[in-house]
């Protein structure tokens, strides 16, 4: 079957898949697997002239009614989406939720208030509440918000709106995080992020891990004390909707994560572990494949598990995604890829690199694989690729930035016919499509192009080229790529006990020597990054935070800091530390 024929056929089956998620009636077996679902969507609130619904007992316990606290995301220049969840034990049939937004933490200067109708809150949506404030607020401002339910006020959250698209912005900063396996470490890093003076948080994916048995934890350390749990289904890897909901609620029960979500508006994508490790779409069976799951290659089973993971993610993550199951095409029904404009300073595009991707180019083979550059392989699909190249070509901000899931730069060893690319789950497994994107970036003649990446659980910095490979080619540099370390997820230090810092530095040097485009590698530290944009430059600072200490005092140290001057594809190292001291 030709690729175009596969894609035409996929529209039929995939349409049924997503309509099932939304409780639509579809033909065939999918309707019996996924029928009658309700997914919590952002709602607009109704006004209420009385103050009854906004009164509360200040002595009431917020944590009992709002156990996962609050979160904001999906910012626009006139609003954001705010989220909370009512505890099942606190739920009262027929009780609405009050919402207040103010300029101050005491709520003396209330700028917006309204009521979420009681009909919008139910067990079907796991008591999740999402309110869309778009059109209600002013650009480029911080606001404070809270929910009120049953005479109990939630924890106070702080949100930030985007600047207007034509607004001049002097500087902008983000915390960049990824890969936060709850069982492999503690979230002291989030205490530090909550206290960073930043504008937004960018989460590059793996917000949850689907495991309950420590499947992805360090083989030398296993599950951290106090981080063990059992899934409702009893499975080791999440399968049911209750499993995925439980994971989101468990992760969001962490105090330090709550502090960050309360303090900063989040822009989030996803990666694979929100559903299943190394997931992809099989165009032959026209269904997802979940290689790590039992029966994960069975189409009906994989569809059901994937639907469960997607539903829980949409319910729990207040992101402004396009979701409309009434539309005919898959790409119109669920689009996680989107764009943000931060005045005239930064354009940010975020891509979905899991829902449309082909499987591994050679199965489990790496060293003997020669199919990585097959021209028909795709990671992001035709429509998303067209959107991406258009967004890049039309970007007129000073800094164009890509929030990207997996490494774009090659990571290889050897030369010529003996060169091996190790990361087929990254863009090394999709080399022809990578070349298309890099050429599109080059053709756009952007003033500055920065990519921020997660997934690999280490820190990297290097140069993106229009092409890689034959040393006789003089490929142009088209951008800079920064990879942020995992917050807690297992890395080289968790797997191998290196006896000295010299060995760690030597391992990093091997990678940079084998890959000329790499400027910096650190395989061994967990933490987060801060990226700051100004008219003069972009700076990228990586912080190590001790994941073994469940405390606000968890050690934080600067690992390295890079500077990219405006208009130059140049990495200037301002600071680097390899030692433990």
8 Å CB contact between 343 and 140:
yes
Q: What is the pLDDT of residue 24?
A: 29
Domain boundaries, the chain: 52-160, 171-576
| Residues 233/234/236/240 CA torsion (nearest 10 deg) | 0
Residue 467 has pLDDT above 90, yes or no: no
Average pLDDT, the chain: 88
pLDDT at site 92: 96
DSSP-based three-state secondary structure for 505: helix
Which of 188-192, 387-391, 501-505 shows the lowest mean pLDDT across its residues?
501-505
Q: Could you write out the three-class secondary structure of 213-255? A: CCCCCCCCCCCCCCCCCCCCCCCCECCCHHHHHHHHHHHCCCH
H-helix segments, 359-500: 382-393, 431-443, 492-495
Specify whether domain 171-576 bears CATH 3.30.420.40.
no
Using 50, 70 and 90 to split pLDDT, how confident is the model at 33? very low
Q: Are strands 287-289 and 280-282 parallel, antiparallel or unpaired?
A: antiparallel
Banded pLDDT at 422 (limits 50, 70, 90): low
* Cα within 13 Å of Cα(533), Cβ side: 25
End-to-end CA distance of the chain: 59
What confidence tier does 9 reach under pLDDT thresholds 50, 70, 90? very low
Instruction: Identify whether the C-beta of residue 578 lies closer than 8 Å to the C-beta of residue 507.
Output: no
Which residues are 30's β-sheet partners?
none
Predicted local confidence at residue 31, as pLDDT:
31
Q: Are 317 and 207 in contact (CB under 8 A)?
A: yes
* 37-62: pLDDT as tens digits: 677 789 888 877 666 778 899 889 99
pLDDT at 331: 44
> pLDDT of 348-365, one tens digit each?
999 999 999 999 988 777
User: Tokens at residue 275, please?
Assistant: 């559903």
Q: What count of residues does the chain have? A: 581
User: What is this structure's pTM?
Assistant: 0.92
pLDDT of the residue at 34: 37
**Paired strand residues for 422:** none
**Confidence check: pLDDT of 565 > 90:** yes
What are the pLDDT digits (tens) for 142-193? 999 999 999 999 999 999 999 999 999 999 999 999 999 999 999 999 999 9
Q: Which helix (H) or strand (E) holds 131?
A: strand 128-132
Comparing 221-230, 365-374, 507-516, the range with the smallest average pLDDT is 365-374
Choice among 107-111, 239-243, 367-371, 449-453 with the minimum mean pLDDT: 367-371
Cα angle value 465/470/473 (rounded, 5°)? 65
The tens digit of pLDDT for each residue in 313-340 reads 999 999 999 877 665 544 456 789 999 9
22 pLDDT higher than 60: no
Would you state the pLDDT for residue 423?
A: 80
Q: Do domains 52-160 and 171-576 have the same CATH topology?
A: no
Res 577: pLDDT: 67
Residue 251 pLDDT class (50, 70, 90 cuts): very high
CATH number 2.60.40.380 is the correct assignment for the domain at 52-160: yes
500 pLDDT more than 90: no
Name the residue among 323, 324, 291 with its Cα closest to residue 305.
Answer: 291
């Amino acid at each position: 079957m030709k690729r175009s024929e596969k894609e035409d056929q996929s529209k039929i089956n995939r349409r049924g898949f997503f309509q099932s998620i939304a409780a639509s009636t579809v033909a065939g077996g999918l309707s019996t697997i996924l029928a009658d679902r309700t997914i919590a969507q952002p709602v607009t609130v109704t006004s209420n002239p009385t103050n009854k619904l906004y009164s509360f007992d200040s002595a009431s316990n917020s944590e009992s009614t709002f156990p996962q606290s609050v979160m904001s995301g999906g910012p626009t220049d006139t609003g954001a989406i705010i989220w909370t969840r009512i505890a099942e034990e606190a739920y009262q049939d027929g009780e609405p939720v009050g919402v207040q937004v103010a300029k101050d933490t005491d709520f003396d200067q209330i700028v917006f208030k309204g009521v979420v109708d009681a009909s919008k809150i139910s067990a079907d949506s796991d008591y999740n509440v999402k309110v869309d404030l778009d059109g209600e607020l002013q650009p480029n401002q911080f606001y404070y918000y809270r929910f009120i339910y049953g005479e109990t006020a939630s924890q106070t959250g702080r949100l930030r709106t985007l600047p207007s698209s034509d607004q001049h912005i002097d500087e902008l900063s983000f915390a960049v995080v990824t890969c936060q396996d709850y069982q492999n470490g503690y979230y002291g890093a989030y205490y530090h992020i909550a206290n960073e003076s930043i504008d937004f948080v960018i989460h590059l994916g793996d917000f949850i891990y689907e495991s309950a048995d420590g499947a992805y934890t360090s083989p030398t350390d296993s599950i951290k004390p106090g981080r063990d749990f059992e899934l409702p289904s009893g499975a080791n890897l999440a399968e049911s909707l209750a499993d995925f909901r439980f994971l989101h609620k468990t992760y969001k029960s962490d105090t330090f994560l709550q502090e960050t979500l309360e303090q900063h508006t989040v822009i989030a994508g996803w990666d694979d572990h929100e559903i299943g490790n190394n997931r992809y779409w099989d165009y032959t069976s026209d269904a997802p494949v979940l290689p790590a799951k039992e029966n994960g290659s069975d189409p009906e089973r994989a569809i059901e598990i994937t639907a469960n993971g997607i539903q829980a993610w949409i319910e729990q993550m207040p992101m402004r995604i396009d979701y409309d199951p009434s539309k005919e095409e898959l790409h119109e029904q669920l689009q996680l890829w989107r764009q943000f404009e931060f005045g005239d300073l930064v354009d940010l595009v975020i891509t979905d690199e899991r829902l449309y991707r082909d499987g591994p180019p050679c199965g489990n083979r790496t060293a003997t694989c020669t199919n990585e550059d097959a021209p028909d392989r795709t990671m992001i699909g035709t429509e998303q690729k067209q959107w991406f190249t258009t967004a890049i070509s039309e970007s007129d901000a000073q800094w164009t930035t890509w929030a990207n899931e997996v490494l774009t730069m090659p990571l290889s060893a050897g030369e010529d016919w003996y060169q091996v690319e190790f990361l087929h789950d990254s863009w090394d497994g999709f080399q022809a499509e990578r070349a298309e994107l890099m050429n599109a970036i080059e053709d756009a003649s952007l003033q500055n192009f920065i990519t921020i990446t997660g997934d690999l659980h280490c820190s990297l910095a290097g140069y993106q080229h229009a092409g890689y490979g034959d040393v006789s080619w003089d490929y142009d540099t088209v951008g800079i790529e920064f990879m942020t370390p995992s917050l807690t997820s297992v890395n080289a230090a968790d797997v191998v006990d290196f006896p000295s810092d010299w060995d760690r530095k030597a391992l990093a040097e091997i990678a940079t020597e084998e890959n000329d485009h790499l400027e910096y590698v650190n395989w061994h530290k967990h933490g987060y990054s801060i990226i700051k944009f100004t008219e003069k430059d972009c700076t990228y600072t990586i912080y190590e935070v001790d994941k073994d200490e469940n405390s606000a005092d968890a050690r934080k140290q600067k690992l390295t800091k890079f500077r990219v001057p405006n208009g130059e594809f140049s990495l200037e190292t301002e600071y680097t530390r390899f030692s433990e001291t």
